[in-house]
Amino acid sequence: MPDSLKVLFICNKSPWPPGEGGPIAMNNLITGLLEAGHQVKVLAVNSNKYAVKPEDIPSEYKKTSGIELAYVDLSIKPVNAFLNLFSNKSYHVERFISKAFNEKLIEILNRDRFDIVQIETLYMTPYIGTIRTYSEARIFLRAHNIEHMIWQRIMESTKNPIKKWYLKHLVRTLKNYEYSSLEKYDGIIPISHVDAAFFTSNTKTPVKAISFGVDPTQIELEAYGDPEQALFHIGSMNWVPNIEGVKWFLDEAWPLIHESYPKLKLYLAGRGMPDWINQLQLKNVEVVGEVPDAYEFIKSKAISIAPLFSGSGIRIKIIESMAQARAVISTTIGAEGINYTNGENIMIADDKQTFLEAVKWLYADPVRSKKMGENARKLILQQHNNKLLIEQMVDFYREVIK
């Protein structure tokens, strides 16, 4: 077995720029493997939802990753969405099936030989047939989430009966597809131990949890002065769980918090900010939108909020905020996959009253808030060091292919 492995990444969106959770997670694995001396090739979906101009990708990144993009139209087409009601196929997955992408994949597999093909997310699973036909590589699923569970939680919290009825159909077909795919892989790499428990109980395929990692050299704490004693939320705002969480917070928790602390400010940052948030006229709520440097933004505020009530996997922005020594208030679902101790390195709040109490506990005492941030950083550097996680992933590759 060669010391250096050759890995092809099949990505549901471009890992460059690493501007939101999925691309950040993929990019960290890609750069981590390269730094460890392995060879990497990337084929990624370029879409209307996450559009990347190839000429904007740095030349060094192109050279080391060999990144190629194939356009896939991911816009929701009403006729297709309606007709899917009479089908057992998953509309979520069907949208990623593309002749152009498949042809590009065949071209790459004919051109080169790989030890590993890593499928990033369930949505790239339809291409397994092509990979098996044109390659002898072992196929691994990098499971960022248990996809049907995200939509299950969204469906359960939906009050509109028509929307709920349609979501039930989407959840059922996605769940069936996710379960039926489990034996198609040679290995499964969930991003959290919580998700790993689901996979190990439903398949004989080898499973190993590899979390999201940070590069300590990229998050050195510099002298920026004291952060503003303010709340902030940062995350991709075209992701349904983030939208729902922020809406809940603004409707339910923020009125109580603002009444108790009228001078406290809340900053909302992230790409894809919906119009209703941009048009907010709430006192002390500042809509920042997409920021040029997420780390700079995180360092500038004291307390991160992550009010998530759906989703699975692990929340990249919570990890990054903790790594930046910021105190975090999260729901139980938001903090899934992090080996936290409530009250020591994170605050858990699942309703508006406990959010208010958590804010009171941290905002009223900046020293306490700073100490929690320091504890959070220690936890992340110990358990989410990207170099160590890459070593674990390579060991798992070798176990499967030996």
**Is the residue at 56 inside a domain?**
yes
| pLDDT higher than 50, residue 304 | yes
Claim to verify: residue 254 and residue 231 sit in the same structural domain: yes
The stretch 153-166 carries a mean pLDDT of: 90
The dihedral of CA 178, 183, 186, 188: what is its sign? positive
The stretch 263-283 carries a mean pLDDT of: 94
Q: Are 259 and 187 in contact (CB under 8 A)?
A: no
The tens digit of pLDDT for each residue in 335-365 reads 998 999 999 999 999 999 999 999 999 999 9
Cα separation, 97 vs 89, whole angstroms: 12
**Is the residue at 1 inside a domain?**
no
Claim to verify: residue 144 and residue 127 sit in the same structural domain: yes
pLDDT score, position 361: 95
**Is the residue at 279 inside a domain?**
yes
Q: Mean of the per-residue pLDDT values for the chain?
A: 94
Claim to verify: residue 113 and residue 159 sit in the same structural domain: yes
CATH number (domain holding residue 23): 3.40.50.2000
Claim to verify: residue 131 and residue 237 sit in the same structural domain: no
| pLDDT higher than 90, residue 224 | no
Claim to verify: residue 195 and residue 50 sit in the same structural domain: yes
Q: What percentage of the chain carries pLDDT values higher than 90?
A: 83
Q: Are 390 and 213 in contact (CB under 8 A)?
A: yes
Q: Is 374 exposed, middle or buried (0-12, 13-18, 19+ CB in 10 A)?
A: middle
CA-based nearest residue to 43, from 121, 119, 140, 99: 119
Cα separation, 398 vs 5, whole angstroms: 9
Cα separation, 18 vs 215, whole angstroms: 14
Claim to verify: residue 208 and residue 317 sit in the same structural domain: no
| pLDDT higher than 90, residue 202 | yes
pTM of the model: 0.89
**Is the residue at 123 inside a domain?**
yes
| pLDDT higher than 90, residue 326 | yes
Claim to verify: residue 345 and residue 392 sit in the same structural domain: no
Claim to verify: residue 234 and residue 365 sit in the same structural domain: yes
Claim to verify: residue 143 and residue 209 sit in the same structural domain: yes
Q: Write out the residue range of the structural domain in which residue 131 sits.
A: 6-213+385-401
CA-based nearest residue to 393, from 251, 211, 229: 211
| pLDDT higher than 80, residue 296 | yes
The tens digit of pLDDT for each residue in 111-151 reads 999 999 999 999 999 999 999 999 999 999 999 999 999 89
Claim to verify: residue 151 and residue 252 sit in the same structural domain: no
CA-based nearest residue to 253, from 308, 193, 191, 198: 308
Cα separation, 17 vs 34, whole angstroms: 17
pLDDT score, position 94: 95
Tell me how far CA of residue 102 lies from CA of 48, 71, 278, 360, in angstroms.
18, 11, 38, 53
pLDDT score, position 223: 46
What total of structural domains would you count in the chain? 2
**Is the residue at 284 inside a domain?**
yes
Claim to verify: residue 291 and residue 392 sit in the same structural domain: no
Claim to verify: residue 193 and residue 312 sit in the same structural domain: no
pLDDT classification of 303: cutoffs 50, 70, 90? very high
Q: Name the residue type at position 366.
A: P
